[in-house]
């Protein structure tokens, strides 16, 4: 029980860090006049994914059924991979290597997405050991 709370609080803090980071040091490009920068879509999707994953982490704290916990853990793994792939594949940031979104936002989201996926994998393994078989859902 205690590990479940600690892991999910860690997730919520990391996801809050993503949201705060996207509005502060890892912000996307500013206004470009009439045309919208590609990185604005990246930011919007990253914030939406972070909010959804944070809500799921909060739900997982109070989940009683092991199956529900495992399903949420799998969703968290996919969510971490989604955030990691977002700036390079799903909604690519600007291609200019001098742009702020390319230099700061892109590596920030990739690193945080990998960390989130790693935490989710560890959590999934913990849920599996709870049942006695780490690979069985």
Q: What is residue 136's predicted lDDT score, i.e. its pLDDT? A: 53
Q: What is residue 37's predicted lDDT score, i.e. its pLDDT? A: 78
Structural domain for 77, as ranges:
2-20+45-131
Tell me if 39 is assigned to some domain.
no
Q: How far is CA 35 from CA 4, 23, 32, 91, in A?
A: 45, 20, 6, 16
Tell me if 120 is assigned to some domain.
yes
Q: What is residue 132's predicted lDDT score, i.e. its pLDDT? A: 58
Tell me if 40 is assigned to some domain.
no
Overall number of domains in the chain:
1
Tell me if 136 is assigned to some domain.
no
Rounded distance between C-alpha atoms, residue 97 and residue 106, angstroms: 11
Rounded distance between C-alpha atoms, residue 116 and residue 137, angstroms: 20
- According to DSSP, residue 32 is labeled B
Tell me if 109 is assigned to some domain.
yes
Tell me if 35 is assigned to some domain.
no
Tell me if 94 is assigned to some domain.
yes
Q: Which residues on adjacent β-strands are paired with residue 35?
A: 32
pLDDT tens for the 137 residues of the chain, in order: 687 889 899 999 999 999 999 999 988 887 767 777 788 899 999 999 999 999 999 999 998 888 888 899 999 999 999 999 999 999 888 888 888 888 999 999 999 999 999 999 988 888 777 665 555 54
What 3-state DSSP class applies to 62?
helix
Q: What is residue 38's predicted lDDT score, i.e. its pLDDT? A: 82
Q: What is residue 131's predicted lDDT score, i.e. its pLDDT? A: 62
Q: What CA dihedral angle connects 71, 72, 78 and 79, to 10 degrees?
A: 160
Q: What is residue 98's predicted lDDT score, i.e. its pLDDT? A: 87
Tell me if 27 is assigned to some domain.
no
Q: What is residue 16's predicted lDDT score, i.e. its pLDDT? A: 96
Instruction: Compute the radius of gyration of the chain from its Cα atoms.
Output: 16
Q: What is residue 130's predicted lDDT score, i.e. its pLDDT? A: 66
Q: What is residue 99's predicted lDDT score, i.e. its pLDDT? A: 86
């Amino acid at each position: 029980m205690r590990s479940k709370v600690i892991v999910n609080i860690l997730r919520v803090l990391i996801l809050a860090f993503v949201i705060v980071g996207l509005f502060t040091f890892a912000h996307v490009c500013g206004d470009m006049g009439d045309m919208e920068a590609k990185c604005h879509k990246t930011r919007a999707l990253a914030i939406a994914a972070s909010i959804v994953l944070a809500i799921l982490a909060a739900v997982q704290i109070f989940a009683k059924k092991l199956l529900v916990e495992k399903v949420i853990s799998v969703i968290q793994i996919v969510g971490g991979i989604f955030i990691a792939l977002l700036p390079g594949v799903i909604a690519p940031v600007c291609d200019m290597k001098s742009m702020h979104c390319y230099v700061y936002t892109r590596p920030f989201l990739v690193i945080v997405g990998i960390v989130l996926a790693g935490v989710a994998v560890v959590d999934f393994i913990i849920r599996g050991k709870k049942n006695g078989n780490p690979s069985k859902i």
